[in-house]
Structure 1
Amino acid sequence: MNQKTALICGVSGQDGAYLAQFLLDKSYQVYGTSRDAQGSSFRNLKTLGIRDQVHLLSMDPEDFRSVLVAIRKSRPDELYFLAGQSSVGLSFEQPAETIKSFTIGILNVLEASRMVDFPIKVYHAGSSEAFGDTNGVAATEETPFKPRSPYGLAKASSTWLVDNYREAYKIFACTGILFNHESPLRPERFVTQKIIQTAKRIAKGSDEKLVLGRMDISRDWGWAPEYVKAMWLMLQQDKAEDYIIATGHTHSLNDFVELTFDSLGLQARDHVKQSKELMRPTDLLISKADPSKSRKKLGWAANYALKEVVQEMLKDAAKD
């Protein structure tokens, strides 16, 4: 059987790095893109020990010619679009950049895939943020989008683009609507990694406080290395469809904080304070998922619950 080739747009991020590792283990030839492949550090690839196994290309997702050149050079069987500004909080400060990074990026990928003379299966990284607040009702693939942040709006728009190209041009393109998924590769601007790293320093004797915004928000948190398998499974199907990827269990941010400090033998109430400055203009209160379609059609289910996610992040962080 011929070796498959994959192109991962955004290989330097958390999901890109874990996906590259997963595909290499399946004997894929893996190409990965960054806006500046020569200048980027690819820290996550180095952390996973796979930096030298990935063929790196410079590609600007917002430049059509750049996208087309990368696709022609790699000639992928599968293309995973994971690029773009990845912080919900930062999207309020950089709304235009966030929206362009997703919508123009995936549009260029879809157009290029339509133009080349070989078939490509396209995976697009969607987000639960596109749903907005479903008022505690578990979202399914049929739940209407009602985003409450520039990030969510961008993800909703790019998902609609994928749907349109799939219908209009019969491209094999699908969206994984991923709910929150964490790992030690998360940068500290993400609240979960901020909690883990701050609690770790406090456990070592730091007298700092963990400063957070709203703690009553609830999310479905999973383990990122598991989620990349679901991405791959979507492209192994006979028909391109969208899938929700989540654990199906929702917990509050306060639960995450309590579990983290408890695991370190500390009382969270002694080390945490809230700040109005960290509260977003709009924020969905409860994010809840129904991942039954992915269980039924992909045979995928999350094995890590919140407790295991926290333990793994603490364990791996302790190696730093």
Structure 2
Amino acid sequence: MNKVLITGIDSFTGKYLSIFLEDKGYEIYGTSLSKSGDKKFICDITSKNDVLNVLKEVEPNFIIHLSGISFAAHGKNEDFYKVNTIGTTNILDSILELNQNPSKLILASSATIYGNQGKEVLDESLCPIPANHYGASKYSMECLSKGYFSKLPIIITRPFNYTGSGQAEQFLIPKIVKHFKEKKDSIELGNIDVSREFNDIGYVCEVYKRLLECDKKSEIVNICSGRGIKLLDVISSMNKISGYEINVKVNPAFVRKDEIKSLTGSNEKLYSLIGNVEQKEFELTLRDMLEA
């Protein structure tokens, strides 16, 4: 009874999580948009027939739904809703249609649903005010999925920023690391005197495992640590690790007006559900990324 289906298994998170859970004794299956293989199925979650076929084949005991469009600057706004919102309800409807009874479904939302709250610490009691289509599509997914709480054992997660080796270079920390790998003289950034969560992918994998195994359901919870890291400290750490200093140029085009200087998530609810979760020092994460 340990079959886990991970949608979006080829994603940054999916690759790490599949290895992590397999090492813990789980039997891993996955969906991909383009690659099939041993226990991996090509599946477009916007196609209910695709979803039904995979669920019939696998009959999973657990589902971790990671599949979706996660880059906020994706060009077509309608895609966010088609994939992130409708794709998720396709999965939930298909499970019910097949009369399957998984032990746990984890649906990945995003901390971007909070929008700009004007607060330094964000907890689950806040009313979401998403500021872009990515966040709005995830919040829409949450609202619709809550209608299934009485029928399926669902936990919705709101991950804050996390990173690690292999993350796409369009994201901030991989962008910084890439500049150091290539020995660039300078880098253009936006507001650098700000503090944000940058958790390690290993921390996130441990959180997902514990949420999978806990007896809680019908919950919406942050995946966060409450650990704020200043961008200036990221640069300082990279200077130290790489052995040279990069010149940071502030590009006004990257600067957001009224940006909150410190922004983290509250881990109070998360830790009440699964216990405290430790993670390695961020400088070690940066070193791993630089040396990868």
TM-score of the pair, normalised by structure 1: 0.83
Is 1:33–1:58's contact at 8 Å kept on the other side of the alignment?
yes
Task: Kindly indicate which of the two structures has a greater share of residues assigned to strand.
Answer: 2
Is 2:12–2:167's contact at 8 Å kept on the other side of the alignment?
yes
Where does 1:104-253 land on structure 2 (aligned, <5 Å)? 104-120=86-102, 121-167=104-150, 170-202=151-183, 206-207=184-185, 209-240=186-217, 241-253=219-231
Structure 2 residue 16 is the aligned partner of structure 1 residue 18:
yes
Q: State the secondary structure of the residue aligned to 1:288.
A: strand
Q: State the secondary structure of the residue aligned to 2:121.
A: coil
Tell me whether 96-105 or 55-64 shows the greater mean CA deviation: 96-105
Counterparts of 1:144 and 1:18 in 2: how far apart (Å)?
31
Q: Deviations over 1:257-301 (max 9, x none)?
A: 232223323334xx2223344457997765321101221221142
Unmatched runs of 5 consecutive residues or more in structure 1? 39-51
Counterparts of 2:258 and 2:108 in 1: how far apart (Å)?
23
Q: Deviations over 1:157-211 (max 9, x none)?
A: 11222222114xx211111111111101201111110101111221xxx44x212
- Between the two proteins, what is the percent identity of the paired residues? 24
Q: Provide the aligned length of Structure 1 versus Structure 2.
A: 290
Q: Deviations over 1:30-72 (max 9, x none)?
A: 111111224xxxxxxxxxxxxx8x5110000111111111111
1:48 corresponding residue in structure 2: none
Change (3 A) 1:110 1:300: farther
Deviation at 1:26, TM superposition (A): 2.0
Q: Which amino acid aligns with 1:195?
A: I
Q: Deviations over 1:92-148 (max 9, x none)?
A: x33222232210111111111222222122111111111112223412221111111
Counterparts of 1:159 and 1:212 in 2: how far apart (Å)?
32
1:46 corresponding residue in structure 2: none
Q: Which amino acid aligns with 2:249?
A: K
Is 1:162–1:174's contact at 8 Å kept on the other side of the alignment?
no
Deviation at 1:255, TM superposition (A): 2.9
Q: Which amino acid aligns with 1:126?
A: S
1:288 corresponding residue in structure 2: 264
Tell me whether 259-268 or 118-127 shows the greater mean CA deviation: 259-268
1:56 to 18, 40, 59: 40
Is 1:148–1:284's contact at 8 Å kept on the other side of the alignment?
no
Is 2:165–2:288's contact at 8 Å kept on the other side of the alignment?
no
2:81 corresponding residue in structure 1: 99
Task: Kindly indicate which of the two structures has a greater share of residues assigned to helix.
Answer: 1
Structure 2 residue 34 is the aligned partner of structure 1 residue 36:
yes
Counterparts of 1:130 and 1:264 in 2: how far apart (Å)?
35
Is 2:216–2:273's contact at 8 Å kept on the other side of the alignment?
no
Unmatched runs of 5 consecutive residues or more in structure 2? none
TM-score of the pair, normalised by structure 2: 0.90
Deviation at 1:245, TM superposition (A): 1.5
Deviation at 1:149, TM superposition (A): 1.9
Counterparts of 2:200 and 2:162 in 1: how far apart (Å)?
5
2:282 to 309, 315, 318: 309
